Amino acid sequence: MGGVLGGPVARLLMRRVRTTEPAQEGDQPTQAVVFEEPKAEQPTTPGAFIATLAMISVCLVAGEFVYGLLAGTSFELPPFVCVLFVGVFLNNVLALAGIRPAQHAIALLGNVSLALFLGMALMTLDLWGLAALALPVIVILAAQTVLMIAYAVFVTFPVMGRDYDAVVLSAAHCGIGLGATPTAIANMQAVTTRFGHSHVAFLIVPMTGAFFIDIVNALVIKGFLMLPIFN
């Protein structure tokens, strides 16, 4: 549902702002916007592709090692958060060393992974298992949908500045509020492909939805578990 709401909410909010020029077909995307245009041609080389896969493998192995170090401690985090942390660290170390990862290869792998994730998530939905709970689920989903639309339009959009970036962020909020971070990114890509780039949104949402939110969740959950009622 989050992926369905993003477009209509963005279209509604676009009437309230002056937008940038839509991305023209055939334009060559720069390194800053390659991930924002999943359908754009993204030239890469076998060497860059292999190097990117190698860096991802390093992040996976090192992230698993970090997770093992934190397991059982007060700072225990989900494995994928540790992998993300290693990825952020590795990217900054490479930048300090003057090494620039191949952004086109990263964008290509990212878009392919996103498409596979969304496809597998839809294929594994057990709708028949929810048949007995159809009415309660529909009522809850309808209430969540109305609340999410209202929050995105009347809270997220004004707080984020009532500009084009706020529109993209509101569409992303619908995706993450009724789905997950990949859904939010797919919503942003759909909006930016039609109306133009939003570097601010693509900086905020991935870092917040895929990294910081999990750290905060871990702290909040552990904080609640430390309450006397759980001891």
d(CA 134, CA 154): 30
At 171 the pLDDT is 92
Give residue-wise pLDDT tens across range 131-142.
777 788 888 889
Question: In the predicted model, what is the mean pLDDT of the chain?
Answer: 80
Q: Which of 11-15, 24-28, 104-108, 148-152 has the lowest mean pLDDT?
A: 24-28
Give residue-wise pLDDT tens across range 182-229.
888 888 888 888 888 888 888 888 888 877 887 787 778 878 878 888
Residue 20 CA, distance from chain mean position? 23
Structure tokens at 103: 């952004």
Q: Is the pLDDT of residue 147 over 90?
A: yes
d(CA 52, CA 57): 9
Give residue-wise pLDDT tens across range 119-134.
887 787 776 766 777 7
d(CA 176, CA 230): 29
d(CA 104, CA 195): 21
